[in-house]
Amino acid sequence: MRQYLVTAESSSELKSKLKEIKEKIEIEKPKSVLVRAFLIEWKLEKVEEFSETLRQGLPMAVIVGCGSNGSIVNAHVMEGKHLFVITLFDKTKLETLTYEFGRGYEGVISNVICGEIDRRKDTRAVELFTTLLKFDARKFLGGIHFNDKDITVFGSNVMGVIPNANEDIREQAFILSKNGVVKSGAVVVIYLSDDLHVNLYRVLGWKPLGMQLEVTKSTTRVVEEINNKPAYEVYNHFLEIPNDENFVANTIGFPFITQEYNHDVLRIPAECTKEGYIISNAGIPQGRKIRLTYGNPGEIVEEIKNCREKVRQFKPEVVLIYDCILRKAFWNTGIDIELGPFDKFPSTAGFFSEGELYGVKAGIIHNECTFMLIAMREGEGIELEPFEDEKIFASKEVSMLKRMATFVEKTTSSLNSAYQQMSILNRQLQTMNVQLSYMALTDELTQLFNRREIEQRIHNAFVNAKAKGSTVALIMVDIDFFKKVNDTYGHATGDMVLREVAKIIHNQVNEDNDEAAGRWGGEEFIVLLPGYDSVGAQKVAERLRREVEEHEFTGVGQRTVSVGVTAAKIGESEEDVFIRSDNALYKAKETGRNRVVVL
């Protein structure tokens, strides 16, 4: 078994790269070929282009895939490109089942799938992609189970809920298949072999808090009442999370834990209505016992390390990671803490999903907030040396720990095991308390404000400027040819350059005047200058550019930055100023870099 990872920004680029893969396939002559396509494109006409390119480029391949919230390549996050995981099997035959259906057909289709699997005596694994928001997920998944078969079942739910998307593409769920694009239904890949070994591993890492609660009123996806009160009151009372536009973001670190078929599963709010009803994509049945949980970075890391050792002992030839997009949001820029430990395994790839599926004898479980790893081998596999026991420091934002403390204060009298709960919280507080207040506001690498905080400060500055009739200036800074630094000298050196440029930027800021600097993302920074016009801001920008140019970066030499400058005009919105500052930066890069452009 072998696996090739292909990334592309367009269907034309993919077409070119597939020619090389096809040549390898013709030489190696595998028994079967599987392409998993994880697309960051959601417009269906573009998806159709990729689908056709795959069918023409690799006509011998089984094709499956879906929209992606980010790809995982060699156990690290890859942004901005589509990922195509091409697996060659020497001893395994693949078959696919494609079903397009909607509400009312869940039971019929699940019965058909069960029958198809049961009649194939050498089935070793089943991979399932579904559009579960299009029909009754619980009825469909609960109806899929296999008689007297030890089969590994895994896959992904495809919701297509695209943050900040226009209405024309929001909730554009789709699944790729050999037959084309499925907008509502399921695609099943059946692995048939007498020498294929597939193991599935799950990592949660969220720990229960407080007393047990009961869902006292719910429908398919809507939890209306918990302990006979509006469901929202649990978050309001214990964690002081208001029912506002930030409700979902604030509850990411605090999902409910319950059980499906005697297995722990997490349920995270996808929305909270004005009535206080909590909508969960996976749903929680009425009468189900639940508890709140909190994301414990230290516990997650330990579970990840234990998982890695189990995978090493399995000796996989290929490794797939289906990681929940909510975990990515939880970790923010630290997601590599969760993924990185698997970078020693051969060809480790995957994507950030909207719901992870894995099968047990009683049915298929719809997971949320779950790290799911699938290891495969044909024959004996590949043996790796034991891993060193790295000490990984994991941290999280202060808001989470504050809410944990509030939870403990309000529920101490009703905790079933107060001492155990307090010891968990104390361990967290002891290891993180020194850095909490600072880290909640800053980017861990550069120590400048993180994006969330600098956006808030910019917003406040615009509000104040409007009230006072003054102005605001923004400076956008981008390190020139930064990718070459990482590619030539390594990411550690790249991080050093980011830190030193950040220090130079910070030295230009007078915090007494409410000036601020933040990391905007990657190698891009932003400087807020309240009260400045474009002339004054240009002087600051030019001084900053010159100091970077004259700075000697250890082991790298001299580097440069491109800088865009703009100041707010009367009647302009924040968005107008952001767009113009971004355009100024683009023009600085387009016209030769290492310069300041004012628009």
Show which residues are catalytic.
Answer: 523
Q: Closest by alpha carbon to 371, among 307, 283, 316, 424?
A: 307
3-state secondary structure of 285: coil
Contact criterion met (CB below 8 Å) for 52 and 18 = no
Residue 390, number of CB atoms within 10 A of its CB: 9
Token look-up 């096809």 returns: 22
Q: Which amino acid is at 29?
A: K
Q: Closest by alpha carbon to 273, among 313, 222, 235?
A: 222
In the DSSP assignment, the letter for residue 440 is T
Residue 42, number of CB atoms within 10 A of its CB: 19
Q: Closest by alpha carbon to 536, among 470, 588, 454?
A: 470
Distance CA 291, CA 221 (A): 18
Distance CA 160, CA 67 (A): 7
Contact criterion met (CB below 8 Å) for 339 and 123 = no
Which tokens sit at 264?
Answer: 């722990």
Distance CA 533, CA 475 (A): 11
CA dihedral 173, 176, 182, 184 (to 10 degrees): -40
**Quick one: the chain helix, strand, coil %, rounded to 5?**
35, 30, 30
Q: In Å, how far are 123, 127, 194, 322, 363 from 151, measured between CA atoms?
A: 7, 10, 12, 18, 12
Residue 321 phi/psi, 5-degree rounding, is -120, 120
Q: Which amino acid is at 84?
A: F
Q: Closest by alpha carbon to 230, among 266, 279, 265, 270?
A: 279
Beta strands 289-295 and 256-260 are antiparallel
Contact criterion met (CB below 8 Å) for 294 and 404 = yes
Token look-up 């950040």 returns: 502
Which tokens sit at 96?
Answer: 């696919």
Q: Closest by alpha carbon to 344, among 296, 312, 389?
A: 312
Distance CA 130, CA 136 (A): 11
3-state secondary structure 453-517: HHHHHHHHHHHHHHHHCCCEEEEEEEECCHHHHHHHHCHHHHHHHHHHHHHHHHHCCCHHHCCEE
Q: Is the Cα dihedral 46, 129, 189, 199 positive or negative?
A: positive
Distance CA 514, CA 153 (A): 55
Residue 77, number of CB atoms within 10 A of its CB: 17
Distance CA 249, CA 294 (A): 14
